[in-house]
Amino acid sequence: MLDIKFLRQNIDFVRVKMDERGQKIDFDRFLALDAKRRDLLQAVETLRNERNSVSKQVGELKKKKEDASELIAKMGDVSAKIKEYDDTLRVTEEELNAFVMIVPNVQHESVPQGTGSEDNPVVRTWGEKPAFTFEPKQHFDLGEALGILDFARGAKITGARFTLYRGAGAALERAIFNFMLDLHTTEHGYTEVLTPFMVNADSMTGTGQLPKFKEDLFKIEGLEYYLIPTAEVPVTNIYRDEILDEEMLPVYYVAYSPCFRAEAGSYGKDTRGLIRQHQFNKVEMVKFARPETSYDELEKLTANAEEVLKRLGIPFRTVCLCSGDLGFSSAKTYDVEAWMPGQDTYREISSCSNFEDFQARRAAIRFRRKDTGKTEFVHTLNGSGLAVGRTVVAVLENYQQADGSVIIPEALRPYMRGLERITP
Partner RNA sequence: GGAGAGAUGGCUGAGUGGCCGAAAGCGAUCGCCUGCUAAGCGAUUGUACGCCCUUUAAAGGUGUACCGCGGGUUCGAAUCCCGCUCUCUCCGCCA
Where in the sequence numbering do the catalytic residues fall? Answer: 261, 276, 348, 351, 390
Q: In whole angstroms, what is the distance from residue 214 CA to residue 224 CA?
A: 12
375 binds RNA (CB under 7 A): yes
374 touches RNA by CB under 7 A: yes
Of 22-30, 51-59, 174-182, 191-199, which segment contacts RNA by CB under 7 A?
Answer: 51-59
Distances (CA, A) of 173 to 79, 143, 170, 340: 64, 12, 5, 17
Whole-angstrom distance, CA of residue 187 vs CA of residue 18:
39
Is 423 one of the binding residues for RNA (CB under 7 A)?
A: no
Cis peptide before 211 (omega within 30 of 0): yes
Binding of RNA by 45 (CB under 7 A): yes
* Number of residues written out for the chain: 424
Choose among 250, 196, 263, 264: nearest CA to 382. Answer: 250
The phi, psi pair for 281, rounded to 5°, reads -95, 150
C-beta closer to RNA: residue 4 or 155: 4
Q: If binding is defined by CB under 7 A, does position 15 make contact with RNA? A: no
Least distance (Å) from RNA to the CB of residue 317? Answer: 41
Q: How far is the CB of 206 from RNA (least distance, A)?
A: 16
Tell the smallest beta-carbon distance from residue 243 to RNA (Å): 7
Kindly indicate which of the ranges 13-21, 75-83, 191-199, 276-284 contains the residues binding RNA, using the contact rule CB under 7 A.
Answer: 75-83
Span interacting with RNA, options 58-66, 157-165, 244-252, 400-408, rule CB under 7 A = 58-66
**Contact residue for RNA among 26, 28, 52, 222 (CB under 7 A):** 52
Part in contact with RNA (CB under 7 A); list of ranges 23-31, 44-52, 108-116, 388-396: 44-52
Kindly state whether residue 366 participates in binding RNA, applying the rule CB under 7 A.
Answer: yes
Q: What is the rounded CA–CA span in Å between residue 335 and residue 352?
A: 6
Binding residue for RNA, selected from 25, 54, 102, 262, defined by CB under 7 A: 54
Closest CA to 294 of 256, 253, 258, 251: 251
Count of residues that bind RNA according to CB under 7 A:
31
Is 196 a binder of RNA (CB under 7 A)?
Answer: no
Any contact of residue 48 with RNA (CB under 7 A)?
A: yes
Nearer residue to RNA within complex by CB, 162 or 197: 197
Distance CA(51)–CA(91), nearest Å, equals 23
- State the minimum distance, in angstroms, from the CB of residue 353 to RNA: 24
Residue 56 interacts with RNA (CB under 7 A): yes or no: yes
Find the part of the chain contacting RNA (CB under 7 A) among 16-24, 68-76, 166-174, 254-262. 68-76
Order across the sheet with 122-126: list the strands.
Answer: 122-126, 316-320, 332-340, 345-354, 379-387, 279-289, 251-260, 191-193
Instruction: Say how far apart CA 276 and CA 266 lie, in whole Å.
Output: 9
Alpha carbons within 13 A on the beta-carbon side of 382: 27
Distance of CA 332 to the CA centre of its chain: 12
Q: Interface residues with RNA (CB under 7 A)?
A: 4-5, 9, 38, 41-42, 45-46, 48-49, 51-56, 58-59, 62, 72, 75-76, 78-79, 90, 243, 366, 368, 373-375
